[in-house]
A and B are shown apart, each in its own frame.
Chain A
Amino acid sequence: MYTGLGPRVRWLMSQIFSPSTNPLSKISIVAVALLAGGGGLALWEVNSSPFVSRANYPFEQPVPFSHKHHVAGLGLDCRYCHTTVERSAFAGMPATETCMSCHSMIWTNAPMLEPVRQSWATGKSLEWNRVHDLPGFVYFNHSIHVNKGVGCSECHGPVDQMPLMYQANTLYMTWCLECHRNPEMRVRPRDKVFDMKYKHPENQAELGAKLVAEYKIQKLTDCYTCHR
């Protein structure tokens, strides 16, 4: 069959590996599998690490605003500042006026609040760094979640214990889908949505099924729910 090929090729065709290397080839198969697996695992780890997903990673802000102080300490409701969370896709970020409702009268000389006073004097918005940031091709809507009994803490974690805001979950697609497939395990009564201390009861499956029926909660897993 190989007629016409030169002697060099014929040399190449000769046996390269001696029979003594046979165990090595078997080991190398396992090694390659392990390496690929390990590499994959490492990539997965990196991908779900705070560095990539931004979870559990406090952010620098122009003013070191503390939810712990304002929510747990002063008992302020989320909606005092995030005013549109019940009625629009966007939760709403507090205007400088909202901070000044109190800080024009108390802690008026605190150096920490200088950027707030600057913003009030000049009319230039405070620029908060976004902590949660879904990719541009994902559609998200707060109002539907809030009105169907999904609590803030379900997605944002213990906000009332955060001296600085961080993202408590990866916000990856698997994370969204985990709940969209089984909402009954994660819903709560509507009047508990803003309750940061809420704990799911022992009989969550039972209560959840009741709420799912009462609030007519669907299992939305079609791609176009979130990619539209």
Chain B
Amino acid sequence: MRFILLTVGAIALIGCRQDMHDQPRYRLNSASDFWSDGRAARPAVKGTVARGMLKTDAGLYTGKINGRDVLEFPFPITKEVLARGKDRFAIYCTPCHGLTGHGDGMIVTRGLKNPPSYHSEALREAAPGHIFDVITNGSGSMMSYGARIPVKDRWAIVAYIRVLQQSQNVKLAQLTTEEVEKVKASERPAAPEKKAAKKGGSH
């Protein structure tokens, strides 16, 4: 009799296996019926600062000092930073702004009203702090990317946008003779008014 009970019990337990795997603890992003907003993850208490989150460097974290866009990058821009910027730009910005920043990304072909080209006079002359602010807080109908992209990556994207802008706005006089030859060779017979020269073959 005892044996039968044990067997039936064991078989029953196999049935509940998955349920017994759920332990009474919260994971990131779990729902909770305890808090009124239904979230297990709690926002920081007002007036407290988490470790490593003390943001005293306004220029770095907001792109503004005393309400004015910063004109300089808050850290040196190296080759690695530019490579990182290119990578992050491809993930977060190309769907709308396109690989070269002309505002012709994939989502535009699906009905998005054209985002502006980065190659306008206004955006070429915009301070780095302005572009940083657009990424952080959004602009007009563009949503903010502050919650998705860490601060340093945002600056790297700004730096890469500067590279894109350069690449589409090179004067012949800035090129070496070799490069001029290369540009001429690549020019089709019926060339558009002002062929954009590209350096380093990025796109």
Q: Find chain B residues with CB under 8 A from A98 CB.
A: 148
User: Measuring CB to CB, which residues of chain A are less than 8 angstroms from any residue of chain B?
Assistant: 43, 47, 52, 74-77, 79-80, 83, 89-90, 93, 95, 97-98, 100-102, 104-107, 124-125, 127, 135-137
Assess whether A75 is in contact with B29, with CB atoms less than 8 Å apart: no
| A74 partner, pick from B28, B31, B38, B106, beta carbons under 8 A | B106
Assess whether A97 is in contact with B143, with CB atoms less than 8 Å apart: yes
Known A77-B90, A95-B147, A124-B38; judge A106-B29 contact (CB<8 A).
Answer: no
What are 9 pairs between A and B in contact, CB < 8 Å?
A74-B95, A80-B91, A80-B92, A83-B149, A90-B28, A102-B107, A104-B143, A105-B141, A136-B22
Known A52-B18, A135-B21; judge A83-B148 contact (CB<8 A).
Answer: yes
Residue of chain B at shortest CB distance from A134: B21
Assess whether A100 is in contact with B23, with CB atoms less than 8 Å apart: no
Assess whether B28 is in contact with A79, with CB atoms less than 8 Å apart: no
Assess whether B21 is in contact with A75, with CB atoms less than 8 Å apart: no
- 12 extra interface residue pairs, beta carbon distance < 8 Å, beyond A52-B17, A74-B95, A89-B28: A43-B14, A75-B106, A77-B91, A80-B95, A97-B144, A98-B148, A101-B143, A102-B107, A106-B107, A125-B39, A136-B25, A137-B21
Known A102-B107, A137-B23; judge A90-B147 contact (CB<8 A).
Answer: no
Task: Give the bracket for the number of chain B residues in contact with chain A.
Answer: 20 to 34
Assess whether B141 is in contact with A104, with CB atoms less than 8 Å apart: yes
Q: Total A-B pairs in contact (CB under 8 Å)? A: 62
Chain A nearest CB: distance from B85 CB in Å? 15
Alpha-carbon separation in the docked complex, A89 to B149 (Å): 17
Chain B nearest CB: distance from A131 CB in Å? 13
Question: Quick check: is B121 within 8 A (CB to CB) of the other chain?
Answer: no
Assess whether A106 is in contact with B91, with CB atoms less than 8 Å apart: no
Assess whether A102 is in contact with B112, with CB atoms less than 8 Å apart: yes
Assess whether B147 is in contact with A97, with CB atoms less than 8 Å apart: yes
Alpha-carbon separation in the docked complex, A93 to B142 (Å): 20
Q: Find chain B residues with CB under 8 A from A97 CB.
A: 143-144, 147
